[in-house]
Structure formats: C-alpha cells, structure tokens
Amino acid sequence: AFEMDEESDLLKVIDGVLYQKTSSGLVLIYCPPAYSGILTIPDGVVSISDDACAVCEELIRVEMPDSVEHINSWAFGHCSKLEHVRISKNLRYVGSCAFCECTSLKEVDFTLCKYYFGYDDFDTCAFQYCDGIKLKLPESLERRRQYIERDIKHRVTAAELDATDWM
C-alpha cells in the first residue's frame, strides 16, 4: 500500500492508492502492483491516469463511481486476474489499451453510459488481447463493433512487425 508521511495540497492517499487533487476532482494516479482484491474508487474521482493500475495482477474487481469521466491509456493494462469492472454512467473517454491483456475479464457493460462516444472517445484497442470478453456497447459504438472485436483478438506477428515501415 502507498503511504504518505504528511498531508499534501496536491496528493491524497485513500486505502493505499495515490490520487492527485485537481480543480475538477481527484485523479487516480497510482495503485501499487501488489494491490489485490476489490478496488473501490471513491466518489469524486474524475479520471484514471495512464498506467495508474497497470500490472496490478491480483486485482479482481473494480467498482467505479459515476464521477469518473476518463479512463486513460493502459490504466488497467496487464491486470490478468481482473474479472469485473463496473463502468461509470458518466464515462466520456476510454484510451488506448485501457484494459489490454486483462485476460480474465469476461464482460463489460457500457450501455448505461449516458454520453455519446465519438470517434476519438473510445479507442478500438482498449480491450486488446482480452480474448473471450463480451462487450455491451451503446448505440454510438455499435457501428465500430467489428473494429473493436478485431482488435480484441489481434496479435501482432513478427512478420507484421517486419513489414511495418517505422520511418
């Protein structure tokens, strides 16, 4: 668990997880990799930053309050035992590989999200390598389902890497 010796104007620790204080609310910035079990994100958290909970391999469940609007890149990447995520109704953005390689994740329901997901608001690679997952998508994402499902299953091969023009 993460601990701080004294109170800070910029940071806050709740249940061993580090949050940044911002004018719009709290931002989850670091969950220790040894964190296990259920992560209950407190109300008032508006964003989960890049890599915040990445590699928390013993995390099995995330309860997200409706205050969360953004899940950024790799926020929960490599959480191999993560089975369930309760998604915020006010979610507006899901970044690249937000849940990549969460191989135990079986279903995530976005249908209760009340905001429209535009093209740049939901990365099709958000659930890459989550084989067997069932995504319940809102109408705004149904037209992109084929790309999201393709990216869930897609694994880059050595031949594809060799064929890529990196320059």
How far, in Å, CA of 50 to CA of 73, rounded? 5
Q: What is the pLDDT of residues 72-121, one digit of tens each?
A: 999 999 999 999 999 999 999 999 999 999 999 999 999 999 999 988 99
Radius of gyration of the chain (CA): 16
Contacts with 5 (C-beta within 8 Å, 6 or more apart), sequence order: none
Q: What is the pLDDT of residues 4-39, one digit of tens each?
A: 767 788 999 999 999 999 999 999 999 999 999 999
Helix (H, G, I), strand (E, B) or coil at 119: helix
Residue 131: pLDDT band with limits 50, 70, 90: confident
| Token pair recorded at residue 34 | 């040894």
H helices of the chain, in order, are 139-142, 145-153, 158-163
| Token pair recorded at residue 36 | 């296990």
